[in-house]
């Protein structure tokens, strides 16, 4: 009797173990299925293309090896990002760019293009890229060009892009070792522009000695000015009813004053040597200020200029200054 009982009990135990193993195996299969499931590829094309638009084009093209679904998807991305820094061999860049511009789906609207060449770009390649931009500028909203090359050709292309909401330009003439600034046009018809970022430009002054380069941008929200100067004038007037954020970096000492006529200005960021006095009704609306002053001993007036800035901006809610800025202020207070 005990043997029979033991046998029955043994059978019951074995059956339970068998069932448990079956359940475990089933769970493992389910886990494997969950792991192998490609949720990304199940997303609609519109979502995938939006995700790809945030990547460098070199990385976007590499997704073509993932599966058949991805093979031609890169050709329909609305954004093209071309950086020479992504190529270890410089000769690869022009070959890659030529293939991208040739193979990209012509029926897909181009919404954004960002070109950043660390050095000099060969004229034929620059011309090819600019021609492509001009032929696809109807829906182009964001444009960034950072090159050393034919600046007149670049500006001619920019003139044709009237639907832009964001423009970033860093231009240096080919063969000019003194970094001759590019002349910023007095009239630039871009009614939708909200973000403007300029490096190495000259703004022309008028009969009153005041340059007012931004009057035409009725929707301007953010403005960045780097390594810029004023020609035929001593005052740079930044006039905009809509401007909220202003940043100025390492600008030329060749003009004396910055006049702010921006009643909506909220944030002001400055990096460099404070050569110019700042004045205007735009100061009263500023809530946040960031200053990283670079003091050169050859300019004895710089500490006093900086101190006058801080006095004029005394009512801001948030002030951030660098350690060098504090040293300059301390130097003034000890005099």
**Chain segment 227-264, per-residue pLDDT in tens:** 999 999 999 999 999 999 999 999 898 899 999 999 99
Is residue 21 included in any domain, yes or no? no
243 within domain boundaries: yes
Q: Which domain holds residue 287?
A: 203-335
Please indicate, yes or no, if residue 67 is contained in any of the structural domains: no
* Mean pLDDT of the 125-136 span: 96
Give burial (CB, 10 Å; 0-12/13-18/19+) of 31. exposed
Instruction: Confirm whether 335 is domain-assigned.
Output: yes
Residues forming beta bridges with residue 41, ordered by sequence position? none
Q: 194: Cβ–Cβ under 8 A, 6 or more apart, which residues? A: 165, 166, 219, 220, 221, 222
**pLDDT at residue 211, as a whole number:** 95
Tell me how far CA of residue 9 lies from CA of 1, 3, 4, 6, 21, in angstroms: 12, 10, 8, 5, 18
Residue 178 lies in a domain: no
Strand, coil or helix: what is 285? helix
Is residue 126 included in any domain, yes or no? no
Whether pLDDT at 168 is above 80: yes
Domain count, the chain: 1
In the block, which residue shows the tokens 């951030």? Answer: 320
* Tokens at 104, concatenated: 């990209």
Q: What is the mean pLDDT of residues 285-296?
A: 87
* 62 domain residue, yes or no: no
Does 18 have pLDDT greater than 60?
no
Cβ contacts of 311 within 8 Å, gap of 6 or more: none
- pLDDT tops 90 at residue 199: yes
pLDDT tens, residue by residue, 33-59? 555 566 777 889 899 999 999 999 999
Say if CB 218 and CB 243 are below 8 A apart: no
In a domain, 228, yes or no: yes
Average pLDDT, the chain: 86
Half-sphere exposure of 200 (CA within 13 A, CB side): 16
Q: What are phi and psi of 281, to 5 degrees?
A: -75, -10
């Amino acid at each position: 009797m005990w043997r029979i009982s033991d046998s029955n009990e043994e059978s019951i135990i074995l059956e339970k173990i068998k069932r448990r193993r079956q359940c475990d195996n089933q769970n493992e299969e389910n886990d494997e299925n969950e792991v192998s499931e490609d949720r990304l590829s199940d997303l609609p094309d519109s979502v995938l293309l939006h995700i790809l638009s945030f990547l460098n084009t070199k990385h976007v093209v590499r997704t073509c090896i993932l599966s058949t679904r991805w093979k031609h998807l890169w050709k329909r991305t609305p954004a093209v990002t071309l950086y020479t820094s992504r190529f270890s061999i410089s000769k690869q860049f022009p070959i890659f760019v030529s293939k991208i511009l040739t193979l990209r789906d012509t029926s897909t609207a181009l919404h954004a293009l960002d070109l950043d060449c660390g050095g000099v770009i060969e004229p034929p390649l620059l011309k090819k890229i600019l021609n492509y931009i001009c032929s696809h500028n109807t829906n182009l909203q964001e444009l960034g060009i950072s090159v050393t090359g034919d600046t007149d050709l670049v500006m001619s292309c920019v003139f044709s892009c009237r639907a832009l909401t964001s423009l970033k330009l860093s231009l240096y003439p080919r063969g000019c070792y003194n970094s001759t600034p590019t002349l910023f046009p007095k009239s630039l018809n871009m009614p939708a522009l909200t973000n403007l970022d300029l490096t190495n430009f000259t703004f022309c002054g008028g009969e009153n000695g005041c340059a007012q380069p931004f009057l035409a941008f009725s929707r301007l929200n953010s403005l960045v000015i780097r390594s810029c100067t004023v020609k035929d004038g001593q005052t740079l007037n930044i006039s905009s009813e809509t401007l909220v954020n202003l940043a100025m970096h390492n600008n030329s000492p060749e003009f004396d004053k910055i006049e702010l006529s921006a009643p909506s200005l909220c944030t002001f960021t400055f990096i460099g040597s404070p050569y110019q006095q700042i004045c205007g009704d735009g100061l009263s609306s500023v809530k946040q200020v960031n200053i990283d002053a670079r003091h050169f001993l050859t300019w004895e007036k710089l500490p006093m200029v900086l101190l006058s800035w801080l006095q004029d901006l005394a009512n801001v809610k948030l002030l951030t200054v660098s350690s060098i800025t504090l040293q300059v202020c301390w130097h003034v207070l000890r005099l």
